[in-house]
Structure formats: C-alpha cells, structure tokens
C-alpha cells in the first residue's frame, strides 16, 4: 500500500498526512477549501521543522516528506487512485455519511476506507458504502506526530484481512495499534470523556477551581495535561458532541453532559481554537491563564 488519500485538512487531517508522508507514503490531502489546504501545508512544514530542530529528522527527510504530499479540492478525483482513504473531516454524522457514499463510488473497488471519527458508529458509516467489509475506524490522537496510539475500530462487517492490513500499516507509521470493537465512544472516548465531564461537574459544583482540578490530575496521576486543559485542547464542542453520542448510545444518565459544558459551547467558548475555554490562549504564549469566568 502506497497511495493514501486524506480527507479534511484540519488539525487531525494535517497530522495524519504528516505521519504518512514522513513514513514515505504518497499522500493526497483533500479539502474543499483551498485556504485550509495551504494552512495545513504550512502547519506540516512548521511541525517538521520542529522535528529537525530537535534532531529527530534531517532537513533532507523533511524535504522528502513535503514532496510526498499533493493537494486536491475535489474529493472524487483525489481518491480516484487511492489504496487507502483516511477521512478526517468535521465530526458530523450527516457529512461523514455523504463523504463515504461519494468515496465508495469514486475510489478503486478494493480501496480500504478508514475514518478518523472519534465516536460516530463505524457500522453506520460502513452502511452508507457499497462494501462495508472495507470500512474501518483508524482513530489517531492529537497531536498526531507525537501520540503513539492508533485506536483501530472494527465495524460490524469489517473483514479480518482489512483489520490486519491496517494494524500492519499503523506499525509502519511508527505507531502502536490497538484493535477494539464498534460501540459508542469505542474505548478511548468511552473512558476519557466521562473523566473530562466529571472534572467539569466538579468545577460547576464548586468542589475546586480550574487550577486545582488540573493540578490534582497532573501531579497525582501523572497526566501530561489536566482534564480541563485537555478539554480545551480537544475542543469543548468536540467533547460535547462525543458525550452526546455516549448519552444517546447507552441511554444512561451517567453520560449526560455537564450543563456548564453545554453553556460554554453555546457561548462560543470552545477552548484553544476559539481563544478561550477554561483558560485563555494568547498566540505565541505558552502561559496557562485561567479564564476570568472561573477566577
């Protein structure tokens, strides 16, 4: 397998294109928005530079990685000779179903169709395609070039051969694959999101402040980021959407999103991407400043 098409040039899409290109694969990065494509190429170059300055990559390897990436604004044309498509578009069920219907028609008949969804059912996405046995979840973690895990999710119909190929491919990317089955939130978010929600509920109920909650989890459990900082990093809208999938999928009130999370998303406080969540973010500054709403 050498020809990879990545759909969506946002944070996850550019990270996924980066790791495939760095491992010698030929990547077509697809997005309908040309600005987004240009921004993604700049981000990939910046992140490769970071690796060069750390001495983990040579300048020559960086140039080769960049040369492995081409771009396209046309989904059908971009996937037309792909051996694997990795979809990393916005986390929206209707949009993903449309994309999979389209790529199932436009990609070669034996092309594996993977989705980087963080919680939408692989089985449902597969049902929108002509060959559900070729559809699989390939869930990368942010920041993709750094995080070792690929959570591989078998849909109801995913063939054993496809799973084996994706496990092997993940290893070729220098990642550690972990195969799980298709139930709400899979494993990563079934466990991560209730923790984040509980941290938000603790803040909402006045048990402790933002710094205290994050410090307890960073220093007490050796987490690299506290749960509130991590929620800001992932995006509060994404956290809310995943909690809703868990709540709806299991029908259990324990997954109900905290009202504070719902309010923050409604107010447009989405975390790093909007400049404010539990903390405020100033471009170029690494200092963590708690949002005025929680001081």
Could you say which of 189, 197, 202, 276 is catalytic? 189
Residue 138 parent element (H or E): strand 135-140
> Is 189 annotated in the active site?
yes
If the CB atoms of residues 112 and 192 are measured against ligand CAA, the closer one turns out to be 192
Choose, by CB under 6 A, the member of 36, 154, 189, 197 that binds ligand CAA. Answer: 189
**Residue 22 near ligand CAA by CB under 6 A:** no
Closest by CA position to 5, among listed 92, 100, 70, 65: 70
Phi and psi for 26 in degrees, rounded to 5? Answer: -90, 120
Could you say which of 47, 104, 139, 197 is catalytic? 139
Could you say which of 151, 154, 202, 276 is catalytic? 151
**Residue 146 near ligand CAA by CB under 6 A:** yes
Binding to ligand CAA in span 208-267, by CB under 6 A: 224-225, 230, 234
> Is 118 annotated in the active site?
yes
**Residue 71 near ligand CAA by CB under 6 A:** no
Choose, by CB under 6 A, the member of 24, 38, 42, 50 that binds ligand CAA. Answer: 50
Choose, by CB under 6 A, the member of 58, 90, 92, 143 that binds ligand CAA. Answer: 143
Alpha-carbon distance of 10 to 90, in angstroms, equals 8
Considering only 50-58, 103-111, 158-166, 173-181, which stretch makes contact with ligand CAA by CB under 6 A? Answer: 50-58
> Is 104 annotated in the active site?
no
> Is 151 annotated in the active site?
yes
If the CB atoms of residues 19 and 162 are measured against ligand CAA, the closer one turns out to be 19
Alpha-carbon distance of 295 to 15, in angstroms, equals 34
Alpha-carbon distance of 228 to 195, in angstroms, equals 10
Binding to ligand CAA in span 97-126, by CB under 6 A: 118
DSSP string, 199-268: HHHHHHTTSS-HHHHHHHHHHHH--SS-HHHHHHHH-HHHHHHHHHHHHHHH--GGGPPPHHHHHHHHTT
The residue of the chain with the least Cβ separation from ligand CAA equals 118
Choose, by CB under 6 A, the member of 22, 28, 36, 47 that binds ligand CAA. Answer: 47
Q: Where are the alpha helices (DSSP H) in the chain?
A: 11-22, 34-54, 59-67, 75-78, 93-106, 122-127, 160-172, 188-204, 210-221, 227-234, 236-250, 259-266
The number of beta carbons lying within 10 Å of the beta carbon of residue 162 is: 22
| Residues at the site binding ligand CAA, with contacts judged by CB under 6 A | 47, 50-51, 54, 118, 141-143, 145-147, 188-189, 224-225, 230, 234
Which sequence positions are flagged as catalytic?
Answer: 118, 139, 151, 189
């Amino acid at each position: 397998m050498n020809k990879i098409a990545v759909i969506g040039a946002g944070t996850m899409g550019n990270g996924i294109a980066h790791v495939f290109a760095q491992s010698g694969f030929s990547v077509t990065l697809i997005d309908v928005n040309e600005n987004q494509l240009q921004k993604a190429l700049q981000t990939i170059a910046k992140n490769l530079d970071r690796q060069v300055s750390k001495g983990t990559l040579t300048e020559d390897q960086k140039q080769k990685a960049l040369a492995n990436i081409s771009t396209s604004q046309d989904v059908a044309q971009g996937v037309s000779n792909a051996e694997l498509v990795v979809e990393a578009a916005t986390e929206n069920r209707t949009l993903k179903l449309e994309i999979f219907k389209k790529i199932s028609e436009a990609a070669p008949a034996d092309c594996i169709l993977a989705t980087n969804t963080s919680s939408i059912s692989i089985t449902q996405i597969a049902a929108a395609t002509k060959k559900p046995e070729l559809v699989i979840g390939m869930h990368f973690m942010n920041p993709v070039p750094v995080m070792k895990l690929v959570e591989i999710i078998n849909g109801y119909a995913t063939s054993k051969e496809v799973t084996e190929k994706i496990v092997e491919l993940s290893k070729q990317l220098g990642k550690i694959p972990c195969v799980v089955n298709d139930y709400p939130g899979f494993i990563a978010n079934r466990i991560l999101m209730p923790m984040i929600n509980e941290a938000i509920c603790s803040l909402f109920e006045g048990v402790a402040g933002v710094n205290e909650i994050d410090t307890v989890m960073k220093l007490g459990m050796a987490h690299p980021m506290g749960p509130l900082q991590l929620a800001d990093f992932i995006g509060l809208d994404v956290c809310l959407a995943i909690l809703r999938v868990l709540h709806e999928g299991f029908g259990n009130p324990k997954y109900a999103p905290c009202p504070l999370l719902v309010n923050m998303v409604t107010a447009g406080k989405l975390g790093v991407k909007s400049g404010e969540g539990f903390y405020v973010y100033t471009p170029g500054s690494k200092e963590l400043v708690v949002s005025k709403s929680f001081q």
